Amino acid sequence: MKKYSWIFVIFAVLISSCASDEDCCTPNLESKNMIIKFKFDATQQRLNNLGQPAIISVGNAAQSPVFSKMSANYIEFASSANTLLGNGEIIYKGAETSQGGTMAIDFQSAQFAGNDEIFISIPLEEVAQGTYNWVRVSLAYQEGSINLLQNGNDITGTLASFVGYNSYITNFDVNGSTFNINENKLQGFWAFEALGFTAQGQAPAGATTVPNPLFSTSPVPQGSCVVTGKFENEFTITGQETEDVVVTLSFSVNNSFEWTEINADGKYEPAIGEQPVDMGLRGLIPSVSN
């Protein structure tokens, strides 16, 4: 066989070998993602609006709900403590509507996630390259179990709380009980169900705690429920990532459900008129892994 024929045979064998081994000749072109997960932690420090340790207000009592799901309407990464709200890298913005009059979160289009579940996953190529130290999350809705005293009996009920700046709600279901609303509800609207008993109400304006340790350099509008947290370690998006980037948003639910006490026994008793006053989360610690 001629010299050139041998070269052709060798080349053909190499091509055939590569075709049977994807790692040999074909680069990994699969798009990598930014994955946002939720975590609810009852042991995480309880903070106030300024991001400082907080105690329960005099005349009130509180407990740590067991959240089943939560929704956010806005997520933004910020490079520094001086990055103003809206000037960072906005990676998620939920649906809004003016159907109820003024602009509001469209609750019927909301996305939800439970503890240690994925809230959103977006291609990393959609996240601007840069180094990030802070995250801001505008919360919209949370639902979970709470304990209460009803006719002398300790029972468990479910609390649904709308903590977003304004929510347009047609209807929603809590443990099989349907609440028909068909209008906007401001931050602090809540609904409750236990053993078929239902109730709904509105917490006072400005009563929902929204921790923001950057209050002095990057304030957020009152009623917006934009919770701010600092990454344990700054992270950088280079555009050359070979693995998914997972951001876990750990929210403090440490005594996050607070109510006014009529009977000072530390137990929530809606039947005697004890009213929820604060349903805001009590801190945010974001972390990154890949």
Regarding predicted confidence, which is higher, 2 or 289? 289
Q: Rounded to whole angstroms, how far apart are CA atoms 155 and 268?
A: 10
**For residue range 175-232, what is the model confidence (pLDDT) as tens digits?**
999 999 999 999 999 999 998 889 899 988 888 999 999 999 999 988 888 999 999 8
Question: Residue 267 carries which side chain, given as an amino acid letter?
Answer: K
The helix/strand/coil state of 271 is helix
The predicted pLDDT at position 13 comes to 41
**For residue range 239-248, what is the model confidence (pLDDT) as tens digits?**
999 999 999 9
CB 158 within 8 A of CB 250: no
The predicted pLDDT at position 29 comes to 52
Q: Which two tokens stand for residue 222?
A: 């009152």
Closest CA to 135 of 223, 49, 232, 40: 232
CB 283 within 8 A of CB 53: no
CA angle 91, 165, 257 (to 5 degrees): 100
Q: Rounded to whole angstroms, how far apart are CA atoms 32 and 281?
A: 31
Q: Rounded to whole angstroms, how far apart are CA atoms 221 and 123?
A: 30
Q: Rounded to whole angstroms, how far apart are CA atoms 109 and 290?
A: 29
Q: For the residues 151-162, what does the mean pLDDT come to?
A: 94
CA-CA-CA-CA torsion sign (191, 185, 103, 212): negative
The helix/strand/coil state of 256 is coil
Q: Rounded to whole angstroms, how far apart are CA atoms 63 and 72?
A: 22
CB 250 within 8 A of CB 287: yes
Token look-up 């590569």 returns 18
SS3 content of the chain, % helix, strand, coil (to 5): 10, 50, 40
Query: What element of type H or E holds 135?
Result: strand 130-150
Model confidence at 19: pLDDT above 60: no
- Contacts of residue 154, defined as CB under 8 A and 6 or more positions apart, other chains included, come to 147, 148, 267
Q: For the residues 105-124, what does the mean pLDDT come to?
A: 97
